[in-house]
């Protein structure tokens, strides 16, 4: 088990796999598996971090506030239709949930509906959302789910391109998109409030996650609390990341992690990413059928979230087809739309499966 | 069909449906918001309305006084913010 | 109720009304009133912030430490007599307390002595002090008290000038004051210790508030712990402000906030500011009667606290009467004296009404 | 007269009295402190007494050695402070 | 008792005695002894800091993580044999433990084995380690132990030189050491993992302390999480230092501190420092007997820890004997070795005496 | 001899022994590690292996495209890191 911690550290340090999370998670995993001392259980310090930050939901919510303070909704506001791509890519979440239930039906593994929902959220491709949902619905699977979510987010440059090439024609990949319009400051200020209002009406169970996200974004855009916004984007999110990572690491204890379920989770998580990617691309193609203003279907793949990696992958694959095709900004729209989409899905899963 | 499977299908239909409807509504609301704001605020230069100087009611006109005051206020804000 | 949250955000963002607090409070208020999800009660994240930071008193005390680290006692030390102005202005606190009790006598509203004391502290014109006292004496009124305190602090440029003009003659407003002497570093180091010593002897119940305040100030002035002082003035106070604001917002739930008492609190708070302002000015005029070294009575109004807004208002009104009359530094003395004065009053209120 | 009203009057008298007395004592104590400190410390330049360099007992006189040491110490303090 | 707080502040501010800790500890000590108000007991804010940070062990562990992030193992890796010096100097810990038990045997004072162990750790010359051990084994002695540890660390420039001159010849003090080799980044990355692995095998009870230390160091050296490392070295360690210091100050209440045991602890602590210094020097001389590559025995004194003060003292005494003898970098090896050594000793003490 | 004294002696022997043995093992392990790493990594310049650029698989060769992309990516990383 300590080897897995070392492997995570190796991937983080040497391969630059989501190091901000995988260094603390990997190290925490090593600490948790030292025999003869209680670090990840009882009064151990990592278990205390877990109890105060993940059981309560505080750490992922604070991270989400920080992510909100780092997010620029400009590209999304310039082209709101990319929200459809962020919606479609969440199909990966629900397909995986079905997959987990199907595995249970076959008798290979046994997942409750809450566990299946927590596994599905890996397809949301959003770290804090996955940790928040798993912490609420299936704490005993949190280690595997977090590791899967962050690993696959790091692997997006390997996972997505083959699917993108398979589902698009050369001509589609060459589509150039018109430059995005300037978005005014007032639109950026009103948007988080608008989003929160709709959440309050339609999916209140997503309000903790999206509320903190919108709060962070409002601090950023309002322009009157820059010192709070700066601290949120730096000291506060960094401190929380360290303790969140160590706390997640406390769930990598061998007796909880080295179980057949973990293998199932890793496989299902990969499936989730693939389906999400495919659904985003296919939605983009569908939109092109219905509209005259064409979009490059590659940016549909960015709808899974995995900010900003997925957007960069879309850009890179687009450049391969057409060296003048800069999709990065266009892909940021579905990319942040994916964050919203998976937070909405998370709210529904918690409401539905948390009581079940 | 097992109970869990029924539940899961319900959840998928309800969940995916909500995500799609929610984001569709958000597309509409966002376009409406942008349209309204662009219509109402373009002419009047929103930055001015939105970011008043910290002391909008000062109303001083003598630039020399204003400069002296600004320096002192700036000093204090740095110390006391 | 959500409209009130949006109104607070509008005032904070568009009118620059104490945005550092009113953005988090307003947003927290919106989150707290979303139906169908527990954010401000039970295991909700805002209620957790409230329980860990306001019930315990920790957040306002940490803010007070940060304010101490940001306060320069130089102007006060150069002219210690301005402490009298800070004393007089606290009359607003006690007059309001009487007002709240009088309202109870009339039968219009019903406030206990603890509630009346918590309402009176709005007249202290000091945010963390008001939150600390309300959290100890009347948590159910905390939302209204905090909103009143911060709103009126932001409204000081509108509230104070008419009272200042009414109570002073043109000749008094023209009084120029002699430049303040330089204050040595050692005086600045010894002062917080002297202040704490007197607090320990005379009003130990004010020691938590003023102790943290003096500690912050000593870190600032000692010159040997600059890295602690810097962090206190930046990351630490910013982080605490965010969580304090959200926690206060959790007290803006409609069923607690939309009650007749809130209206009473808003009216009484306004009265408190007016009486405090008047008392400060009248004390300055009284001092001029008794002393040959004249002071400009406008700086008496700064005795309410509301740092640094009240000092800037005194400066502005002084400049209107005499374009060569720069009162800003002179008004900082009573301004910080007002912070000390209301912390002392807070200690007495908690001791007296907390046991009652 | 109601009980609460009596209590409130007591609290106002006691509270406002304490605030005024406390700040009056503070005025006196502050003036005394400033007087004493200005008397005792003006001649001997307080900054020197108050802010010794971090290593007051070094007592090195060769400036070159001092410079080399300072650089090394500075480096270490940055790393290890 | 308040005088002792003022004395600590005086030493910190005027004499620059470990001000980062002694300013908060001294001020906390003053606050704790104000009669008529509960600040350091019950619901008092300092007692809350104590309960959340020291009873749980979290504050010293976070500080240790920060120290790890500030530590450069380069000099140690360039000359690993200096680890022997760090081992020898820990003899001060165990000699003092024996001294405390001997005092008990004489009937002068009465210390249990856990108390004797907590007193011994003063000889480790490492603040967070001492606070961690005392918090686990003898919380009622924590105030005296922490004050002794930090005071003697500040007094190292007075305590060590006479012992160093007594135990070394002029010729030995003149020994120049060859320049240290460059250490590659990969060695610096692997070292904390190697250290943690050995800890896991040989002294798992030291894993919480050394685990957090190695984690901080890995964040520093890995180069992929610089934003986490920077925050750990600045905002996070500063915030924790403030609250740790205040929490330690809550243990300076007169009834706990003004007891005969405190005098015994102060005397024993001083003995611990002297014995540790001597043991480090003698070990260096022993190594010179056995090896041809001579080391200057002065750097043995740096084995006590007291980073970086002890290393600077070694450098200074070396320069007095030989103006071309720059020992600073050479002394940093045993200096950080001393941190490792006392953390290992701490683990053993907690395991042995915690259950006893 | 009292019970506490016996315990203390045990603790001293066991504790000091462990400290010395542990650090001795650490000396050996460290030297071995340094030897191995220096042997294996000197030739291949470890920094290159260890610190890939954040996007190692980009594989773009046209410097102009690369520069444009870098600027955009940098901007985004600053915003979104
Ligand atoms: Na997503
Ligand atoms: Na006041
Ligand atoms: Na040591």
Count of D–E CB contacts within 8 Å?
46
Question: How does pLDDT run across A121-164, given as a tens digit for each residue?
Answer: 999 889 999 999 999 999 999 999 999 999 999 999 999 999 99
In chain A, residues 226-265 whose CB comes closer than 8 Å to chain B: 227
CA E94 to chain centre: 14
Average pLDDT over residues E190-205: 95
pTM of the complete model: 0.91
Joined together, the tokens standing for residue E259 give: 């007891």
pLDDT of residue E355: 59
Confidence of residue A86 (pLDDT cuts 50, 70, 90): very high
Q: Tokens 């060695």: give the residue.
A: E187
Range with the lowest mean pLDDT among A38-47, A172-181, C219-228, F33-42? F33-42
CA atoms within 13 A on the CB side of A195: 33
The mean of the pLDDT values for chain A is 94
Cβ of C183 under 8 Å from any chain B Cβ?
A: no
Q: For chain D, which residues make up each domain, given as ranges? A: 1-42
For C236-246, write each residue's pLDDT tens digit. Answer: 999 999 999 99
CA E227 from centroid of its chain's CA atoms: 27
Calpha distance A232→A218 (Å, rounded)? 12
Compute the CA torsion angle E55, E59, E65, E66 (nearest 10 deg).
-160
**Among residues of chain B, what percentage have pLDDT more than 90?**
37
| pLDDT above 50 for E29 | yes
> With 70 as the cut, is the pLDDT of residue E19 above it?
yes
Give percent of chain C with pLDDT exceeding 70: 99
pLDDT at residue D28 in the model: 96
Q: How far apart are CA C212 and CA C346, in angstroms?
A: 14
| pLDDT tens column, C68-119 | 999 999 999 999 999 999 999 999 999 999 999 999 988 888 899 999 999 9
The confidence score (pLDDT) of residue E41 equals: 92
Residue F49 has pLDDT above 50, yes or no: no
Mean pLDDT of the A194-201 span: 96
Those residues whose C-beta lies under 8 Å from the C-beta of residue E219, and which sit 6 or more positions away, are: A23, E68, E69, E225, E228, E229, E232
Q: Which chains touch F (3 or more CB pairs under 8 A)?
A: A, E
Starting from the CA of residue A86, give the closest ligand. 1
How far apart are alpha carbons C3 and C254 in whole angstroms?
11
Greater pLDDT, F54 or A221 = A221
pLDDT-derived band at C125 (thresholds 50, 70, 90) equals confident
Q: How far is F1 from chain A, CA to nearest CA, in Å?
A: 32
Q: Do D54 and E308 touch (CB under 8 A)?
A: no
- Chains D vs B: touching, with 3+ CB pairs under 8 Å? no
Q: What is the pLDDT of residue E329?
A: 93
Question: Does pLDDT of F38 surpass 50?
Answer: yes
Is the confidence at residue A323, as pLDDT, over 60? yes
3-class secondary-structure state, position C112 = coil
For residue F67, pLDDT over 60 is answered with no
Instruction: Provide, as residue numbers in chain C, all residues whose Cβ is less than 8 Å from the Cβ of E9.
Output: 193, 218, 222
What pLDDT, on a 0 to 100 scale, did the predictor assign at position E337?
A: 96
Please report residues of E whose CB lies closer than 8 A to that of D69.
315, 319, 326, 328
pLDDT confidence of residue E45: 96
pLDDT surpasses 60 at F63: no
Question: In chain A, which residues have their Cβ closer than 8 Å to the Cβ of C19?
Answer: 222, 224-225
Residue C53 with chain E: CB contacts under 8 Å: none
At residue B73, does pLDDT exceed 50? Answer: no
Q: What is the pLDDT of residue C85?
A: 95
CB < 8 Å to E198, chain F = 22, 25-26, 29
DSSP state letter for C180: P
Q: Does A242 touch chain E (CB under 8 A)?
A: yes
C40: its two tokens: 């401000």
Asked if this assembly's ipTM is beyond 0.90, the reply is no
At C338-354, the pLDDT tens digits run 999 999 999 999 999 87
Size of interface A-F (CB pairs under 8 A): 47
- pLDDT at position E149 is 94
pLDDT beyond 60 at D77: no
pLDDT of residue F62: 41
Distance from the alpha carbon of residue C114 to the mean position of ligand 2, in angstroms: 19
DSSP assignment letter at A203:
-
Nearest to E18 by CA among E141, E120, E143, E146: E146
SS (H, E, C) chain E: CHHHHHHHHHHHHHCCCCHHHHHHHHHHHHHHCCCCCCCCCCCCHHHHHHHHHCCCCHHHHHHHHHHHHHCCCHHHHHCHHHHHHHHHCCHHHHHHHHHHHHHHHHCCCCCCHHHHHHHHHHHHCCHHHHHHHHHHHCHHHHHHHHHHHHHHHHHHHHHHHHHHHHHCCHHHHHCCCCCCCCCCHHHHHHHHHHHHHHHHHHCHHHHHHHHHHHHHHHHHHHCCCHHHHHHHHHHHHHHHHHHHHHHHHCCCCHHHHCCHHHHHHHHHHHHHHHHHHHHHHHHHHHHHHHCCCCCCHHHHHHHHCCCCHHHHHHHHHHHHHCCCCCCHHHHHHHHHHHHHHHHHHHHHHHHHHHCC
Determine the pLDDT at residue D78.
57
- pLDDT tens per residue across span E122-170: 998 899 999 999 999 999 999 999 999 999 999 999 999 999 999 999 9
Helices (H) and strands (E) in chain D — how many of each?
A: 3, 0
Residue C174 has pLDDT above 50, yes or no: yes
Examine the pLDDT at D46 and tell me if it is beyond 70: no
Report the pLDDT averaged over residues E209-223: 97
Chosen for mutation from F67, F77, F80 (greatest number of chain A CBs closer than 10 Å) is F80
Average pLDDT, chain C: 94
Determine B/A contact with 3+ CB pairs under 8 A as the test: yes
pLDDT at B49: 39
Place of tokens 């109870």: C104
Q: pLDDT at position D21, please?
A: 95
Give the residue on A whose Cα is nearest the Cα of C49: A58
All chains having 3 or more CB pairs closer than 8 angstroms to chain D = C, E
* Top-confidence residue, E256 or B42: E256
Residue A308: is the preceding peptide bond cis (ω within 30°)? yes
Report chain C residues whose CB lies below 8 A from the CB of A222.
Answer: 9, 12-13, 19, 23
Interchain CB contact of E219 with A (< 8 Å): yes
Asked if residue A8 lies in contact with residue A14, where contact means CB atoms within 8 angstroms, the answer is: no
Work out the pLDDT band at F35, boundaries 50, 70, 90.
very high
Q: Of residues B55 and E90, which shows the higher confidence score? A: E90
Whether the CA torsion A223, A229, A233, A234 is positive or negative: it is positive
**pLDDT tens, A33-85?**
999 899 999 999 999 999 999 999 999 999 999 999 999 999 999 999 999 99
């Amino acid at each position: 088990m300590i080897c897995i911690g070392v492997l995570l550290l190796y991937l983080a340090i040497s391969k630059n796999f989501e190091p901000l999370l995988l260094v603390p998670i990997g190290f925490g995993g090593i600490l948790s598996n030292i025999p003869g001392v209680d670090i990840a259980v009882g009064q151990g310090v990592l278990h205390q971090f877990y109890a105060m930050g993940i059981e309560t939901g505080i750490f992922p919510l604070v991270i989400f506030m920080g992510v909100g303070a780092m997010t620029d909704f400009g590209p999304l506001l310039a082209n709101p239709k990319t929200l459809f791509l962020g919606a479609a890519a969440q199909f990966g979440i629900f397909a995986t949930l079905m997959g987990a239930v199907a595995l249970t039906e076959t008798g290979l593994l046994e997942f409750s509906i809450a566990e299946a929902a927590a596994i599905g959220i890996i397809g949301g491709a959003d770290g804090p959302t996955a940790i928040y949902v798993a912490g609420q619905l299936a704490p005993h699977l949190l280690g595997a789910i977090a590791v899967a979510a962050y690993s696959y987010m790091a692997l997006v440059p390997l996972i997505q391109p083959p699917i993108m090439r398979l589902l698009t024609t050369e001509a589609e990949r060459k589509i150039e998109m018109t430059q995005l319009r300037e978005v005014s400051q007032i639109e950026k200020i009103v948007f988080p409030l608008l989003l929160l209002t709709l959440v309050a009406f339609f999916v209140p169970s997503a309000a903790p996650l999206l509320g903190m996200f919108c709060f962070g974004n409002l601090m950023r855009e309002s322009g009157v609390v820059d010192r709070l916004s700066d601290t949120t984007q730096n000291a506060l999110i960094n401190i929380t990341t360290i303790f969140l990572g160590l706390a997640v690491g406390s769930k990598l204890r061998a007796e909880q992690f080295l179980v057949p379920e973990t293998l199932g989770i890793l496989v299902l998580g990969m499936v989730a990413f693939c389906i999400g990617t495919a659904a985003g691309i296919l939605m983009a193609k569908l939109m092109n059928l219905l509209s005259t203003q064409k979009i490059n279907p590659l940016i549909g793949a960015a709808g899974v979230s995995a900010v900003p990696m997925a957007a960069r992958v879309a850009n890179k694959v687009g450049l391969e087809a057409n060296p003048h095709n800069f999709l990065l900004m266009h892909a940021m729209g579905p990319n942040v739309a994916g964050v919203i989409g998976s937070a909405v899905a998370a709210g529904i899963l918690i409401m539905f499966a948390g009581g079940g | 069909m097992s109970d869990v499977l029924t539940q899961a299908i319900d959840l998928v239909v309800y969940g995916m449906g909500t995500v799609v409807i929610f984001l569709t509504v958000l597309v509409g609301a966002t376009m409406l918001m942008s349209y309204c704001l662009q219509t109402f605020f373009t002419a009047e230069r929103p930055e001015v309305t939105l970011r008043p100087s910290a002391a909008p009611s000062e109303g001083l006109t003598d630039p020399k006084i204003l400069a002296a005051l600004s320096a002192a206020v700036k000093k204090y804000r740095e110390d006391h913010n």
